[in-house]
Structure 1
Amino acid sequence: MDEEHALKHLIKLTQDGKLCALEKELGVNSKIARTVNKKHFGRSGDTLLHYAARHGHLAVLKFLIKDIGLDIELYNNDYKRGLHEAASMGHEECVRFLIKEGAKVDCLKKADWTPLMMACTHQNLGIIQELLSRGANPTLKNKDGWNSFHIACREGDPIVIQHLLLVSPEVWRTESKILRTPLHTAAMHGCEEVVGILLQRCGYDPDTRDSCGVTPFMDAVRNGHISVAKLLLKEHKSSPMATDILGAQSVHQVAVTAQEEALVFLVKDLGVDVNQTATDMQLTALHYAAKEGHTSTVKTLLTLGADLHVRDKKGRTALHMACIGQHADTVRTLLQLGLADTEDISGTMAKEHAKKIEVLNVFECK
């Protein structure tokens, strides 16, 4: 067996956790044994240490470090160490062993992710507790400004959230580089129980805004998480009328994401004006839905009282927006619902926006 095939064979043995066979192969071939000390494999640049940690083979991991002498801080092309792999994949015994042998508990991989951050992506409380007990810092931030608490709030395990707050009571006082808080993150992903904990135990200001002016309430409704939105209204006194930096309210954002149940909730339950205009362009929710080509949402808005004939600052109706977006089905629907009779449909502004043959054909058929 040549050296290349021998090395590939070692990878397979390591991944499968076959310690005896691995000991035999490395024992009879001292040259290969010396090679694997710093050998990186494939595009990822993984070492045998990475494979062993990723697959949770503790005995193999011990053999590679103690007997073969692999450096515990070996990193691959993404700067991942064995501790990142073990923490990410939920191998608690491997995590414990690596730290005991001197692995840096807050080592950084690409984009400045720590092993604790990796553990928080998989809601593994045991590993999180182990890392924290060994000095892992939950307030460290990655390149996007997220700390471990942000990540845990995205995943939505209330037990993990409570433990992080117990160990580091001020960990919630954090914002990403675009000013998003853990509350934004939990609301966006519909983690209702976590949102409840954050509202009860943390001091977030009502309607705190990120760099785009988006509030947690906006995040909840535009992603269809109505129960979370109701919780924010009840416990946090959030405003359904708050605006982002473009002047858009929740009703406009929900039209963009085509969350029709949320539209009904905003208009019927909360009394939001369906024809409320956003930004200095004076766009309505109907304009936004038409531009995105959300035909079903357009119909829902009309049942809620949206005005077909409202024009923006440039004189454009929802039909013009549908033409701009080249959405033939939405154009057809709007024409059928009555916009064919508006003064400029027969040959001017709307047709000028309809560039594709398919969209123009809709007008010809009318």
Structure 2
Amino acid sequence: MEIIIEGCGSMKPAIYEAAIKGDIALDDSKLDQRSPQKNNILHIAASRGHDRLVEDILRLRPLHLKLENSAGDLPIHLAASSGHQSTVRYLISEAKEKGVKEGLMAANKEGNTLLHLALKNEKEEVGELLFVMNKEASRCLNKEDKSPLYMAVEVGYLHLVTEMITYCYSGEMRQGKSIVHAAIETRNKELLENILSLKPSLLDSMDEHGRRPLSYAASIGYIDGVRYILEPGRFPQNSYMRDRNGFYPVHTASEKGHINIIQEFLWHYPDLRELLDRKRHNIFHTAAMNGKANTVRYMLKVPKLENLINWKR
């Protein structure tokens, strides 16, 4: 069992509680204490949005701006995570004034910048502020390969996503997790439409399993997303493109037993029933091999599909 000795990784309880409340008389004995997670008094004040206390601390300890806690967070990271806009503004201005490089682009041990953390914690106003102050941060990838743009899609911030896409893809954008897949995963049709109208080429992006967006939507049974992508004249080629596993999107729907998705595919493109995956299986074989009894029964009842059982491979 780890024993924390006061002064070597602990903060006096009275000081800790006073810092949380923002009501503390500062002196040298209090300024340099650390909590078990190596938060100093500035970390605590910033995380609570105590602007006056933050100002007082920095007058006495200006370099506390660049001290990290055990997670690699600077005080400004905690202010951004907690959504304290005025505190974030002040700490950024102080960092610039004092020539401290750490700030807008600083990342913690998980690779999260201020913008990542604001969006991860659903602090939209702080996220918008940080994007305006440093748009380049929206391209940064954390250790999960997520950009702030991806996180903005996850939480559904339509306006911010639009602004970020316009900026991010005006130059070089590092490949990270697909924002189209994120919109599909959250079943946000408005965001999906917005992303693909601005950047239709993203429909060719793949997730970590080698699935394009249409196949991913088919795999989770997201009928509205499938319908949007299949709309006449929109993205016809995507129904005829294999994923890394050798499946076409209609095979993925069959594998998962999503009858309504299969119906949607065949309503738009009836000849998809003829497609064979890399192992020469049609959609009937795929459903049968994956134990999708309801899907098999459905196909046997549809005259146009019943001959798939005897299809030569």
Q: TM-score by structure 2 length?
A: 0.73
Q: Give the C-alpha shift of residue 277 in structure 1.
A: 3.8
Counterpart code for 2:30: L
Q: Give the C-alpha shift of residue 149 in structure 1.
A: 2.0
Aligned residue for 2:82, secondary structure, equals coil
Instruction: Figure out how many residues of one structure are paired with residues of the other and give that number.
Output: 289
Structure number with higher relative contact order (C-alpha < 8 Å, ≥ 6 residues apart) = 2
The answer as to whether partners of 2:153 and 2:179 remain within 8 angstroms in 1 is yes
Aligned residue for 2:175, secondary structure, equals coil
The answer as to whether partners of 1:309 and 1:317 remain within 8 angstroms in 2 is yes
Asked if 1:79 is matched to 2:44, the reply is no
Gaps of 5+ in 2: 96-101
Asked if 1:186 is matched to 2:140, the reply is no
Q: How does 1:264-283 map to 2 (within 5 A)?
A: 264-268=227-231, 270-272=234-236, 275-283=239-247
Deviations 1:54-79 (A, max 9, x none): xx3223x33xx539x33534131x33
Counterpart code for 2:186: N
Aligned residue for 1:70, secondary structure, equals helix
Cα pair distance change 1:191/1:169, threshold 3 Å? closer
Rg (Cα) greater in structure: 1
Q: TM-score by structure 1 length?
A: 0.64
Q: How does 1:1-366 map to 2 (within 5 A)?
A: 38=7, 47-48=12-13, 49-53=15-19, 56-59=20-23, 61-62=24-25, 65-66=26-27, 69-76=29-36, 78-102=37-61, 104-135=64-95, 137-155=103-121, 157=123, 159-168=125-134, 170-177=136-143, 179-200=145-166, 202-205=167-170, 208=173, 210-211=175-176, 214-234=177-197, 236-239=198-201, 241-244=203-206, 248-268=211-231, 270-272=234-236, 275-291=239-255, 293=256, 295=257, 297-305=258-266, 307=272, 310-317=275-282, 331-338=292-299, 343=309
The answer as to whether partners of 1:251 and 1:263 remain within 8 angstroms in 2 is yes
Cα pair distance change 1:88/1:159, threshold 3 Å? same
Instruction: Tell me how far apart the structure 2 counterparts of residues 166 and 237 of structure 1 sit (CA, whole Å).
Output: 21
Cα pair distance change 1:243/1:130, threshold 3 Å? closer
Q: Give the C-alpha shift of residue 280 in structure 1.
A: 4.8
% identity of equivalent residues: 16
Cα pair distance change 1:218/1:131, threshold 3 Å? same
Deviations 1:117-143 (A, max 9, x none): 222223221121122122161111122
Counterpart code for 1:334: T
Gaps of 5+ in 1: 1-34, 346-366
Q: Give the C-alpha shift of residue 180 in structure 1.
A: 3.9
Counterpart code for 2:226: L
Counterpart code for 2:169: Y
